[in-house]
Structure 1
Amino acid sequence: METNYINFSKVGIIGCGFVGSSSAFSLMQSGMFTEMVLIDADKARAEGEALDISHGLPFAKPMKIYAGDYSDLKDASLIIITAGANQKPGETRLDLVKKNIAIFKSIIPEIKKIDYKGILLIVANPVDILTTVAIKLSGFPANRVFGSGTVLDTARLKYNLGQHLDVDSRSVHAFIIGEHGDSEIAAWSCANVSGIKLNKFCEMRGFFKHEEAMKRIADEVKNSAYEIIKRKRATYYGIAMAVRRICEAIVRNEKSILPISSLMKGQYGISGIALSMPAIVGRNGVETHVPFEINEQEAADLQKSAKTLQEVLAQNEL
């Protein structure tokens, strides 16, 4: 990344719906940035969100928050794209494809016009498809365009396992990989609690029906968004906190390992589609995927997940 063009204290958010505004609020509270640009097709909405969040600044750290346009994003270190149609009750993330690809066809060319040198973080759903689309439409290096992927799903898995085992979820080490959606995979073969294999830790806590518990917890994670949408019509707090975590890894150059959605280049026989796999994330975006050992069944499920996404993308050629 050409750092002479980049202001690492500045962030842009495109889309001021539930997810965009919640992310803006979360990032304001983080103190990571001193400038935030909000963009929405409805400029009055962006202005309203900027004003509302700004009124809380006396309780936080100094920051400039305003509604802007694409020219204001030129020197931002990060552009977070949350713009897109909302997932309705009974609708899958893949059902949103046509509507949201059309929206991206209007957004990405505007970003290209300003000769943007920073990182594009895709949050809109279906995130894996839209990350792939953003890479193709922008022509930017793939390390600079990636999605929030299964960072939130992984947090849900850790939370559920923590609840199940009555242990701090931060001590749980496990990943959801593949699609952020119905074909996602809980990589149980690598899961552990502070280095202790998961099954052994479960037995230590009095749980012995491993297969039954694994299926129940994986299903709970996969269906969490549907359950939340059914009750309150949208999910936004969890993903806003996931966005904040990814931004921390980038801005602070943490080299954190996160399951973001990035372009696969032959790993596990998968190419040409963005999928979530653990990767090192820092100031230059995606540094590298990490050598993540999964069992044969998980690898087969990952390839199946990729095939599902590739088929959907093929039906929606750019």
Structure 2
Amino acid sequence: MRDHVNRVVLIGTGFVGSSYAFAMLNQGVSEEFVMIDLNKEKSEGDAMDLNHGLPFAPAATKIWFGDYSDCKDADIVVISAGANQKPGETRLDLVEKNTAIFKGIVEQVMASGFDGIFVVATNPVDILTYVTWKFSGLPKERVIGSGTILDTARFRYLLGDYFAVDPRNVHAYIIGEHGDTELPVWSHADIGGLPISAWAKTKKDFRQEDLDELFINVRDAAYQIIQRKGATYYGIAMGLVRLTKAILQNENSVLTVSAYLENKYGQEDLFIGVPAVVNRSGIREVVELSLSPEEQEKFKHSAEVLKNIIKSSFHK
């Protein structure tokens, strides 16, 4: 028997993948880290470059450029391969291109004998998480999308910035599609246990419009970043490492990931961003928040948008 060490395999070493690899090494999250990409030269270069940083890393990590056979012993396979969002393109515009790419990837991973957890980062993430679940045949709790993990982080950062509080003490969620129909859960947003409405009263120059604008900046952050630098990758890479740690360290952490809904939030048969308890077995359970009527309506709309895409692109 192989002595158990945590092995993470990354498929796709573009901007997001290589940023994730760098953050993984910096935080010493896994003992083995394998990189797979069609561009062999680039990935080999990445592996060499990362290995040269090992003397400065907090923990020993074995890093190499590998192939699909390395997935057999992997605890987690992270997929960040696929076509990128171009300026002016929505995440949903990528569906067809990336579904075809994912079919080939997931089939090769499963052919290796992989029996771990898939983490999906490629956009449109909710659709591609569903696709991964279908193509892999794995139980729903072992397929996790990055969902609204980054949107939630953006929300917490901007709220912290607005009220001059450390974002780590802000508890607020963005749920729904990772995209244009996502929504803020204002009804459960708090800082240090005090609702946002209570904080608003303490801020002299507070205007409700500020919070409306703050959410628009959360929702449209990717477009703003893509316009300025062509792609977003540092924030999502940090979010993926956070999710990886929650799995490998059996944390039972609550993270807003893309999870499969079965009679939760009044929805069935789709992956969508919701708070969920994440541990070594994947998604232990979905946390069902009691939403306000307006939030319920918005969530339902977000779910319908995703369901229609699944119907048209997957159930042909």
Shift of 1:207: 4.5
- Runs (4+) of structure 1 moved beyond 3 Å? 4-8
Deviates more, 1:288-297 or 1:87-96: 288-297
Indicate yes or no: 2:64 matched with 1:66.
yes
Shift of 1:213: 2.1
Contact in 2 for aligned 1:5/1:117 (Cα 8 Å): no
Shift of 1:115: 2.1
After superposition, the C-alpha distances for 1:114-163 in whole angstroms (9 at most, x for unaligned) are 22111100000000000011111111000000101111100000000011
In the alignment, residue 40 of structure 1 is paired with which amino acid?
D
How large is the Cα RMSD of the aligned pairs? 1.3
Residue in structure 1 matched with residue 109 of structure 2 by the alignment:
111
Among residues 154, 172, 175, which one is paired with 1:174 in the alignment?
172
Among residues 77, 89, 100, which one is paired with 2:75 in the alignment?
77
CA distance in 2, matches of 1:288, 1:207: 40
Contact in 1 for aligned 2:71/2:113 (Cα 8 Å): no
In the alignment, residue 109 of structure 2 is paired with which amino acid?
I
Contact in 1 for aligned 2:264/2:288 (Cα 8 Å): no
In the alignment, residue 91 of structure 2 is paired with which amino acid?
R
Q: Map of 1:232-311 to 2, 5 A cutoff?
A: 232-311=229-308
Residue in structure 1 matched with residue 227 of structure 2 by the alignment:
230
CA distance in 2, matches of 1:161, 1:234: 24
CA distance in 2, matches of 1:140, 1:127: 17
Contact in 2 for aligned 1:8/1:76 (Cα 8 Å): no
**Alpha carbons of 1:6 and 1:253: their partners in 2 closer, same or farther (altered >3 Å)?**
farther
Contact in 2 for aligned 1:6/1:77 (Cα 8 Å): no
Contact in 2 for aligned 1:6/1:117 (Cα 8 Å): no
Shift of 1:8: 4.8
In the alignment, residue 288 of structure 1 is paired with which amino acid?
E
Indicate yes or no: 2:125 matched with 1:145.
no
Residue in structure 2 matched with residue 213 of structure 1 by the alignment:
210
**Alpha carbons of 1:25 and 1:113: their partners in 2 closer, same or farther (altered >3 Å)?**
same
CA distance in 2, matches of 1:207, 1:5: 61
Q: % of aligned pairs identical? A: 46
CA distance in 1, matches of 2:15, 2:149: 18
What secondary structure sits across from 1:260 in the alignment?
strand
Residue in structure 1 matched with residue 125 of structure 2 by the alignment:
127
- Tell me the TM-score normalized by structure 2: 0.97
Shift of 1:315: 1.7
Shift of 1:316: 0.9
In the alignment, residue 211 of structure 2 is paired with which amino acid?
M
CA distance in 1, matches of 2:111, 2:23: 29
Shift of 1:290: 1.4
Contact in 2 for aligned 1:7/1:77 (Cα 8 Å): no
Gaps of 5+ in 1: none
Residue in structure 1 matched with residue 15 of structure 2 by the alignment:
18
CA distance in 1, matches of 2:2, 2:308: 38
CA distance in 1, matches of 2:106, 2:255: 25
In the alignment, residue 145 of structure 1 is paired with which amino acid?
V
What secondary structure sits across from 1:277 in the alignment?
strand
Contact in 1 for aligned 2:12/2:37 (Cα 8 Å): yes
In the alignment, residue 214 of structure 2 is paired with which amino acid?
I
Shift of 1:7: 4.1
